[in-house]
Structures are given as structure tokens and as C-alpha cells.
Chains A and B, each alone.
Chain A
Amino acid sequence: MSGTATVIAVGYAGLAALSLVLAVAVWRSTRSRRAVDAARLAKRENASLAAVVAILVALLLGTIFLVPYGESAPAGSQRVSVTGFQFAWLIEPQVVKANVPVEFELTSSDVSHAFAVYDEDGVLLTQVQVVPGRTQKLVYTFEEPGTYDVLCLEFCGFAHDVMRGTIEVRA
């Protein structure tokens, strides 16, 4: 699991557990059947709105600068041309150096594909969509030498799941 995936897993599991605890608390509350001040609860809805908006704004500010858009390859980066077609990847060159940014230039000659790179442990490192008729760029730096698997993550036909490629990363 990647670092970001671990953050998602921990965050979601915590919130899901909290939700279930709240659900049990609400269920149990119906046994006490005590009177509630509905007007006051309705007014507090404004406070709940403010809390939700504050959380969302914080999440927005914390993540919006991490979008993958507009990354440009620095000078000295390696260039790799990738063409997707039913059901293979044409990757040229297939061998790159570790710790030097790679700028992938991706195209498709038929339908939509998605270029996804996995390391030898099966961790999904990066992915991007490849739409026919367009050129998609992706900048990624491999840190470790090894053989990396390329899968297609956009459904592209009956042999979609066997559409594979590899990238060799050397020190």
C-alpha cells in the first residue's frame, strides 16, 4: 500500500468506526424517549453546517496543491514515448535511470486506456488516463532500480486485464 493509500485507510477506518459508534448511540437514545428541544436542534444545524464547511475547506487547502496537473519535466529528464492499443503497451525506450525524472508522453491509437505503474511489491505508484486523439504527459521519478509493471486501468475490451508492459529501471 502506498503512503497516500495508508493515510486514506487510517482516516477512513477512523471515521467509519466513529460513524458506527454514533449510530449505536442514536439507536440506544430511542430507548430513553426523553423530550428534546427540536427548535434548538434545528438551530444547531447552522453550527453543523459551519463545522462541515470548515472541515471541507481545510481538506481542500490541504490537498488542492497536490494535484498532478501542470507538472513540467525539468531539464535533463528522460523522455519515454508510450502508445496504448488493444491490448498492449508500446514503450520506447523501456529502460530508464533511477532518480532522474521521466517524462512520459502517452497516446492511444484506438480507445481510452490508462497507464498505471506498479512496483515489484504490487504497489500502485502512479496512473493517468490516455484518450485517443490527445497527448497526455506524466512526470515520474523512479527511486529504486528494478522491473516495474505497467497495467491498463481503463476498461478497453475483452483482454483489458492482460494488457501489460514493463519498464526496467537501472541505477
Chain B
Amino acid sequence: MNAPPADWGRDRARVWALRYLLASTAIFVASGALGMLLRSSQADLGRLDPNAYFAVMTAHGLGAFVGWAAFACMGISWWVLASVGFPLRRFGAAMAQAAFWLMLLGVAGILVTTLLMDFAASWVFLYPLPFHSAGEWGDAATGIFAASVLLAGLSIVTWCAGIVHTVLGPGLHAVRPTIGNRLGLALGLGYLAPRRFATNPTPVPYAVIPLAVIGIDMIVATLPFAVLLVIMIVQSASPGVSVDPLLAKNILWFFGHPVVYLLLFPAVAVYYLLIPRYAKRPLVAGNVVALAWVVAVFVNVMIWAHHIYLDYPSDSSQAVINTLMQPLTYAITIPSALSIYSLVFTVWRSDFQWTAASTSLFLGLVGWLLAGLSGVVNATIAFDEVVHNTLWIVGHFHHMALLNIGLAIFGATYAFLPELTGKALWSERLGLWHVWLTFVAGTAAFALWLVQGLEGAPRRFAVLPERYDTLTQAAVPLFAVVALAQLLFVWNLVQTLRGKGGRAAVAEPGAVVEGATG
């Protein structure tokens, strides 16, 4: 089959990136509204029925994490790759399409089973809880829920296939284009062994590397989880089937940890692409960044048990596994530390163009650092004993999800929307209000969670013990500001899509340097 022209591939990437962005933003609004319901219920401003609370929590968690953040990052990745010379080819375009519809179906199933069928086993649905509902939902709901999550998982695997296919494309400029050589190049080995992994005329863009890493890792991480989900579907119809709960917990987190990086690594690719663009200088990066990504591709799938540090039954080898996971988890911080170094020094003393997009990305880097530091606490077994399953964890991952990944998504949306639609951003000023309010109110709200966690406040309580009420109620106005800021974002998007900002000014194919002000 002849390869399609690059223009075709760029156009396909544009179409799918836009569809993913719009669909994921709609899911973001719905999931965010569910999050506000949880916060107001916990603060006694309209209590939800206990099972309804946890059903909403299940929908909010999966909706926001997978349906919004992962889905948005997946979509943005198509455009990031096209922007650095890796347009979609036919197989990749088919995968992009399949992953899109699988994700939408999966999210729809999750919303139906949680909000209409009362499935409320939390968004990690620790086995065997889905089959012990205490009379609140039926096994059919569990089966349909598991099938829905499986569809989302298949979406991820399909996306991975498309990503791996795309990053192995001719944009690598491999001198020796064997499959092994191209794979090594996509993983950044050209920076470590330039003779063995030679390119001509240009080296592999940095933005390609994290996407290649996560494309490979998520296939490895998702397949065992898919098997667990299939078993759960079978068990929902044939109760005689079962799985060892500790094994199931390991399988869940074997997927559950890397899936965090399904969000983070595409966000890193966005930073690698856009921060240099706004700083008007190449990424300040040495070869050692490539070394960090080689570490990442292996270590990412070897650190799942840091989520289960406090599981160490005497008749298992879990204590040994858990102990090994602390240094390995520390190792996975190295790509983040080096990336933050590179990106910060790319901005340092540069002629940085401060726009809504670039401000969002810069604040996202700050959020990444703050969330990464709280992550080191969780990664340390002796500290995790104090913060495990407290609101500290909730503060940590919301910080990571909204104020690192989220701000990267918002930044990418503001930067890419004119490229994807040909329409200039309606209001830079509204965009700046959005990202600043999100960052300031979000940081404050999540800091309150961190404090509550250190005071021992449990997570996943519909009603917290009274001693935590003051901070729970103090957080509500902060969350209201975060929510309000997102409405500004959505309004800006709507007006932009309606063409209210005028046409985007395009200097070269796909590269918008300045939008007309609206």
C-alpha cells in the first residue's frame, strides 16, 4: 500500500485531535460538576445518599481521570506528533478513530452503570468489592461496568498501537530504517549512541520520546488488567469464577500506575514542543534526558506496588516486592526532575512570549514540581504509613491531575485550537483569568486536602469525622472558584469555535504565531 501524503496525515491528525479535545472537554465539564456535588455533600450543603455519594465518586474519578485527562492527552498527542513531522498514516488514523469511539462508549457505560444502576465500588473498584454490594447494585451492573472499563482499556491499547506506528514513521530520518533501529530512535537512543542510531538530517524531536515510551508501556500494562476485567464480566454471570484478591490488587495497580503516565508523558511531550516555541529557543537538554527516558520505559511498569505498600500479609512475598518498589519509584522521578530542569532553563532569561497558553504551561510546570514533591512522600514507605488512604493522597493526585496535566491540556488547547480550527482564540484575557484562577484556587484547595490528610482525615468518606469539618467547609468556596474558572474556559472555547475571534494568522503550514485579537 502506498503511504498517504503528509498533508493527508496532518489533516487526519488535526481532525482527530480536535474531536478528542472537544469530547474530552465535555466529559471534563460533567465530571467536574460531579466533583462539586461530592464537595458540597461532604461539607453538608445538600447531602447525597451514601451509595449515591460513592456512585458519583466512581463516576467523577473515572470520568475526570480517564474520560477527560487521559482522553484529552491522547488526542493532543496526535497533533503534537504531526507538529514535529510525524503525521498520521493510514493505520494510525484507523487506530485514532477506533480509540475515539471505544473511549466514548466506555465512558458512556461507566456513567450509566454508576449514575443509573447504582454501581458504587469506587473508581479503583478493588476486587472483590464489585461483587459485595451489600444490596446496593446487582452483578449485572458490575458486569456492564467492567465491560465499559474494558472498552476504555481497549481504547488505550488501540491508541498505543496508533502511537507506536506513528512514532516509527519516516519523520525519524533513520539512516538504517530497520524496525529495531527505528524503535531505538523513537525512544531517544540517538542521543545516547549517535553512531548506532544515526539520523539524517535532523535528530528525533524530544517530544516524540515520551510518547514512544508510553505507547509501549501502556500495551504491557493494560493487557493483564483486561484479563482481570474479562474474568469479572464472566463472574458477573457465573458466580463460581473468582480471582485471588491480592493478585487482583497487584494487577489493578500494574495498570493503575502506568495509566497516570498515560496522562503525564503526553503532557511532557506538550511541554517539550511548546515551551521552546514560546521561549523562542531550542529545548535546553543534554543527552542525559534520553537516558532518563530509557529508564522510564522499564521502570514505569515495575513500580505498581507503591500503591499497596500497606499490604504485606505474612503468607505472601508482598513485603519484599513493596520494599524494592521504593528505590524503583524514586528512579521514575528522574525523567520528571530532568524534564523540569530542561524546561525551566529553556524559559530562563528567554524572550518568553506570555500568552494564555504559555502561562498555563508555565504554571503547569510549577504544579508538576509541587505535585512531584508530594509524590515523593507517598513513594516513601515510612511516610506512606502516615498518609496512605488519607486526604493527602487526594490532594496529591488532584494537584498532579489538574495543576500539572490539566494546565498542560489547557495550554495545549489554547495553543492548538487556532491550528486545529483555523480560528483565533476569542479572548487571551479570559484565558489568563482561567489559568490563574485555576492555579491559585486549585493550589489552595489541594493544600487544604494535604493538611487534612496529615491530620489523619480518611479519603472516600461520605461524611468525615466532625474534627475535619472546618477545613472541609473552607475548601468549598475555593472549589467554587475553580469551577467558575472552568466556565470561563468553556465560554472562551465556544466563542472561539463560533469564529468570534476571527481567523487565525498562519505563518507556515500549521504553525500559528499570533492570533487576531477578539
Q: How far is the CB of A15 from chain B (nearest CB, A)?
A: 5
Assuming the contacts A111-B128, A137-B314, A155-B460, asked whether A4 and B383 have C-beta atoms less than 8 A apart, the reply is yes
Question: B281 to A5, Cβ gap below 8 A?
Answer: no
For residue A19, which residues in chain B have a CB less than 8 angstroms away from its CB?
Answer: 366, 369-370, 373
A23 to B246 CA separation, bound complex (whole angstroms) = 43
Question: B351 to A132, Cβ gap below 8 A?
Answer: no
Assuming the contacts A45-B289, A127-B385, asked whether A112 and B129 have C-beta atoms less than 8 A apart, the reply is yes
A111 to B120 CA separation, bound complex (whole angstroms) = 14
For residue B316, which residues in chain A have a CB less than 8 angstroms away from its CB?
Answer: 134
Count residues of chain A with CB under 8 A from any CB of chain B: 75
Question: B377 to A70, Cβ gap below 8 A?
Answer: no
- For window 363-385 of B, CB contacts with A under 8 Å fall at 365-366, 369-370, 373-374, 376-377, 380-383, 385
Is A90 interfacial (CB 8 A cutoff)? no
Is A16 interfacial (CB 8 A cutoff)? yes
Is B389 interfacial (CB 8 A cutoff)? yes
Question: B126 to A122, Cβ gap below 8 A?
Answer: no
Is B105 interfacial (CB 8 A cutoff)? no
Q: Mark A25-41, 1 if CB is under 8 A from B, else 0.
A: 01101101111101001
- For window 42-92 of A, CB contacts with B under 8 Å fall at 42-43, 45-46, 48-49, 52-53, 56, 59-60, 63-64, 66-70, 86-87
Contact with B385, one of A23, A29, A68, A118 (Cβ below 8 angstroms)? A68
Of B73-81, B147-155, B192-200, B451-459, the stretch lying at the interface with chain A is B451-459
For residue B455, which residues in chain A have a CB less than 8 angstroms away from its CB?
Answer: 1, 5, 122
For residue A68, which residues in chain B have a CB less than 8 angstroms away from its CB?
Answer: 310, 312, 381, 385
Residue of A nearest to B289 (CB): A45
- For window 108-128 of A, CB contacts with B under 8 Å fall at 110-112, 114, 116, 118, 122-124, 126-128
Is B134 interfacial (CB 8 A cutoff)? yes
Residue of A nearest to B342 (CB): A45
Q: Mark B277-301, 1 if CB is under 8 A from A, else 0.
A: 0000110111011001000000000
Of B217-225, B263-271, B325-333, the stretch lying at the interface with chain A is B325-333
Task: Point out residues on A near B: beta carbons under 8 Å.
Answer: 1-2, 4-6, 8-9, 12, 15-16, 19-20, 22-23, 26-27, 29-30, 32-36, 38, 41-43, 45-46, 48-49, 52-53, 56, 59-60, 63-64, 66-70, 86-87, 110-112, 114, 116, 118, 122-124, 126-129, 131-137, 151, 153-161
Closest 7 CB pairs of A and B: A124-B456, A134-B313, A66-B382, A69-B319, A161-B461, A30-B352, A158-B51
